[in-house]
Structure 1
Amino acid sequence: MNERLAPADPEVDLLVVGSVNEDHFTFVQTFPRPGETVTAIAARRGLGGKGANQAVAAARAGAIVRFAAKVGADGAGASAIEALRAAGVITDAIDEESGCATGSASIAVDASGENWVIVDAGANSRLAWSDADRIFDAYGAPSVILTQGETPAATVAHVARRAHDAGSRFVLNLAPVIDIPNEALQISDPLIVNEHEAAAVATALGLSADSPSELATALTSVARSVVITLGAAGAVSASDEGVWNVAGLPADGVVDTTGAGDAFVGSLCARLAVGDDLRAAMTWASAAASLSVGRPGAAESYATSDEVERRLLLAGVSA
């Protein structure tokens, strides 16, 4: 564990435990068909990984965020840490793993803004439950703790237990869907998934539903609360307080949808950490996601809290 905690370290609102990648973007007019070669319009590299993306989104939304992760002892890892610091994320819980490369993702984006992604986990696969223990022992537990399906399943389960024992609110973005103990799902408040992930979880649990609202309600049998993201249509949530929908805000123009879900998740957790209820946090997160798709890239496309507030004001929406 890196020991870089400053004596004047501020009180952290949100701990994100998760993945960090170097993203390799290729922009094309259309995706190639099997066996076809297409010429790229442009290419670039940037910060990525669901954990890193969500940490940046949360910091942009106004939370004080510590990010715990593993990178390789390489240039990509050093660049990722530098980019996270520049975004206002506290990076003293990021470890460098020798003999292992920083995670990477190959991302193709077509003219409509749609994308496909291939991920090499790299050092992310080395983030173990023992690392989680050192993080909690060294830094304590803030009010909200977030992790994702790009984190090894045993680590997700252990983070959930430590969060529960510390009295923290545990949020799980089960993306991608991995096999974790039901106890970790039961602690999740909320469990955040998109429609496809929600359907996969429900199928694995033997649940069925005919609509996103019914699906969210069904999943509350295994989680304290559930949020299902619906892309441009917004999101639906269910808990013991009922079911509600938050409409999506129309984007001014879709440039790149990469990382929009992470913008939603990170912003939602930030707003929970600073005291919003789930409905208000979802409204804020929906606005943040709508802004992210109008800019290229993932973490670098995320809006500041001032930009989100203006977006909500112009849309006549109260968070």
Structure 2
Amino acid sequence: MAIYNLGSINTDWFYKVTRFPVNGETLAALQCRSGLGGKGANQSVAAARAGSVVHHVGAVGGEGVWAVEQMKSMGVDVTHVSIEIAAPTGHAMIFVTPDGENRIVIYPGTNRMIDDGDVKAALAKVAQGDTLLMQNETNAQLLAARKARKRGMRVVYLAAPFDLTAVREVLGYVDLLILKPGEAEQIAAALAVEVTALPVPELVVVDAVKGATWYDLKSGETLKVSAPSVEALDTTGARDTFAGFFCALRDQGSPIAECMELAIAAAALKATKDGTSEAIPALKDVRCFLEGISETT
């Protein structure tokens, strides 16, 4: 099996600040650095580090070739990442406070310029049972979801950044929906149903700092896991890490309980490090992390 990720690729600019600025205020940053990010790239890297075969479908500008090369070095197949010379790569400005919380402004750039033909070409030779992973930082989501469903793929949608219209557009093609707690309540209210009655086979509600709950909305089965207690330095990309790990482990046939435990641990471990994709741990490191916790309890 393999994972095909229609996902964003960003240049992330991180600014360490003592606190978030208020309206009209200029605040000096304590530190500035850049790196590979974007929810799509983060999830592809996470899934690859969890041991799955990952094909990324996306686009960068001419100045973003370094990002493609970095993804490749992290084990992600980038055959279906196009280079749009006439437009800039997506980028994000991320403000991080000492407690690890963040506020983010993104510019989509080439992430919203992915060619329909490139998506069709990427999904032309998938195998039944492969996974299509998507987020809400690209265009072509509906096209990809329809193609994936026709080819017997499992469709996973991390509804972030959350947009009710975007969620409703693809919902009928989604097998697994991943949401924050507040987002789950919003979509349920919009559809006038309970969260446990959303029209998808599976739902995961995740707070990368506190934990996650998996729902089988057909059988009514649920499974809740708590996040390991860590000292967070930067929570940017933690939920992306969860999604990538969870999809990878499901793709590999692991039991739900193991998928949940390892995915939430990976998210917690990521939060202990600065950065986004470069801070995502490998599966062996997550297992060691959990073994260390069990030895101290």
TM interval, shorter chain, is: over 0.9
Instruction: Please give the per-residue CA displacement for 1:24-52, whole angstroms capped at 9, x wherever unaligned.
Output: 11101111111122221110000011100
Q: How far, CA to CA, are the matches of 2:117 and 2:186 in structure 1?
A: 29
Structure 2: runs of 5 or more not aligned: none
Residue of structure 1 equivalent to 2:147: 162
Q: How far has the Cα of 1:238 moved from its partner? A: 1.1
Structure 1: runs of 5 or more not aligned: 1-11, 209-214
Give the 5 Å matches for 1:1-319: 13-74=2-63, 77-137=64-124, 139-141=125-127, 143-152=130-139, 155-178=140-163, 179-180=165-166, 182=168, 184-208=170-194, 215=195, 217-219=196-198, 222-239=199-216, 240-241=218-219, 242-251=221-230, 253-316=231-294
| Alpha-carbon contact 1:187-1:224 (below 8 Å) kept | no
Q: How far, CA to CA, are the matches of 1:238 and 1:140 in structure 2?
A: 27
Please give the root-mean-square deviation of Cα atoms over the aligned residues, in Å: 1.8
Q: How far, CA to CA, are the matches of 2:100 and 2:31 in structure 1?
A: 14
The number of residue pairs the alignment matches comes to 291
| Alpha-carbon contact 1:177-1:200 (below 8 Å) kept | no
Q: How far has the Cα of 1:182 moved from its partner? A: 5.0
Q: How far has the Cα of 1:183 moved from its partner? A: 7.2
SS at match of 2:269: helix
Distance 1:30 1:188, change over 3 A: same
Q: How far, CA to CA, are the matches of 1:151 and 1:204 in structure 2?
A: 23
* Amino acid of the structure 2 residue aligned with 1:256: D
* Amino acid of the structure 1 residue aligned with 2:70: A
Instruction: Please give the per-residue CA displacement for 1:223-259, whole angstroms capped at 9, x wherever unaligned.
Output: 11000002322101211231221111111x2110111
- TM-score, normalized by length of structure 2? 0.93
Instruction: Please give the per-residue CA displacement for 1:289-308, whole angstroms capped at 9, x wherever unaligned.
Output: 01000000111111111111
Distance 1:54 1:289, change over 3 A: same
Q: How far, CA to CA, are the matches of 1:120 and 1:129 in structure 2?
A: 21
Q: How far has the Cα of 1:187 moved from its partner? A: 3.2
| Alpha-carbon contact 1:175-1:197 (below 8 Å) kept | no
Instruction: Please give the per-residue CA displacement for 1:156-208, whole angstroms capped at 9, x wherever unaligned.
Output: 12211222221121111111223247573233221001112222222322235
Higher mean C-alpha deviation, range 125-134 or range 257-266: 125-134
Q: How far, CA to CA, are the matches of 1:73 and 1:29 in structure 2?
A: 35
Q: How far, CA to CA, are the matches of 1:129 and 1:91 in structure 2?
A: 17
Distance 1:290 1:112, change over 3 A: same
Q: How far, CA to CA, are the matches of 1:289 and 1:54 in structure 2?
A: 11
Q: How far, CA to CA, are the matches of 1:119 and 1:281 in structure 2?
A: 30
Q: How far, CA to CA, are the matches of 2:36 and 2:294 in structure 1?
A: 33
Residue of structure 2 equivalent to 1:7: none
Runs of 4+ in 1 over 6 A off after TM superposition: none
Q: How far, CA to CA, are the matches of 2:222 and 2:115 in structure 1?
A: 36
Sequence identity (%):
34
Q: How far, CA to CA, are the matches of 1:101 and 1:200 in structure 2?
A: 33
- TM-score, normalized by length of structure 1? 0.86
Distance 1:286 1:181, change over 3 A: closer
Q: How far, CA to CA, are the matches of 1:181 and 1:256 in structure 2?
A: 27
Instruction: Please give the per-residue CA displacement for 1:113-169, whole angstroms capped at 9, x wherever unaligned.
Output: 1000000000011124333112112x43462110111122xx212211222221121
Distance 1:162 1:287, change over 3 A: same
Q: How far, CA to CA, are the matches of 1:47 and 1:97 in structure 2?
A: 18
